[in-house]
A and B are shown apart, each in its own frame.
Chain A
Amino acid sequence: KAGVTQTPRYLIKTRGQQVTLSCSPISGHRSVSWYQQTPGQGLQFLFEYFSETQRNKGNFPGRFSGRQFSNSRSEMNVSTLELGDSALYLCASSLDDSSYNSPLHFGNGTRLTVT
């Protein structure tokens, strides 16, 4: 079974631009969540989608948004990029549809650098 796939692997953008990251979950997994990882803040929860609906959202500004498609693939978008958005963005999928009774499976992430 293929794992969680994130594209692109690396991105370099300029302040003020916007970016879209993509995530394909493990086949059969319906929950997809996104995390931002930085040296200073560690791993922080962005949002979670289940059956095309945003089920939970972390404490990030509205510039961060996402969506999930009917095939469970997900995208996240960051608009008006700031230097502080430079981070490793991780996507995770899980099988369970209610609580975290099944583990999250992570992709290798997208490394975003904002200059």
Chain B
Amino acid sequence: SQELEQSPQSLIVQEGKNLTINCTSSKTLYGLYWYKQKYGEGLIFLMMLQKGGEEKSHEKITAKLDEKKQQSSLHITASQPSHAGIYLCGAATITGNQFYFGTGTSLTVIP
């Protein structure tokens, strides 16, 4: 099965600081998605990356998929309390018939 490992497991940062979350796969990724979840709620879609080397940004969040398509990083610039939550990466198998999620990274931003 395809497994996605996220690091770190949790992060506590001061407001205004930059941070990076990593998502690593043992296999080639075909479609890598980043989601954010508030505790006890559904997942909010952030970004989708499909091509090696692809980079996308939305407001202060930037995600990149490496050339080999086995690792993705999510970078938040000048973090705010509104960025707090659980960040999950998700990916489809090569056949696209199943979707896997990473272990999640819990982010706390201290005002």
Contact = CB atoms under 8 A, between A and B. Distances in A.
Main secondary structure of the interface of B (DSSP, over half): strand
Interface string B64-95: 00000000000000000000000010101001
Contacts of B111: none
Interface stretch (B12-20, B54-62, B96-104): B96-104
Main secondary structure of the interface of A (DSSP, over half): strand
Interface string B34-56: 01000011111100101000000
Contact of B104 (A42, A108, A109): A42
Contact of A103 (B45, B98, B100, B103): B45
Contacts of A55: 97
Nearest to B39: A88
Nearest to B101: A43
A57 to B, nearest CB: 9
Nearest to A96: B96
Contact of A105 (B41, B45, B95, B97): B45
User: How many interface residues does chain B have, given as a range?
Assistant: 20 to 34
Contact of A90 (B42, B50, B96): B42
B88 A100 contact: no
Interface residues of A, number: 26
A109 B99 contact: no
Contacts of B102: 42
Nearest to B47: A103
A98 interface: yes
Nearest to B104: A42
A50 to B, nearest CB: 10
B101 A99 contact: no
Contacts of A99: 30-31, 92, 95-97
A8 to B, nearest CB: 14
Interface of B: 30-31, 33, 35, 40-45, 48, 50, 88, 90, 92, 95-104
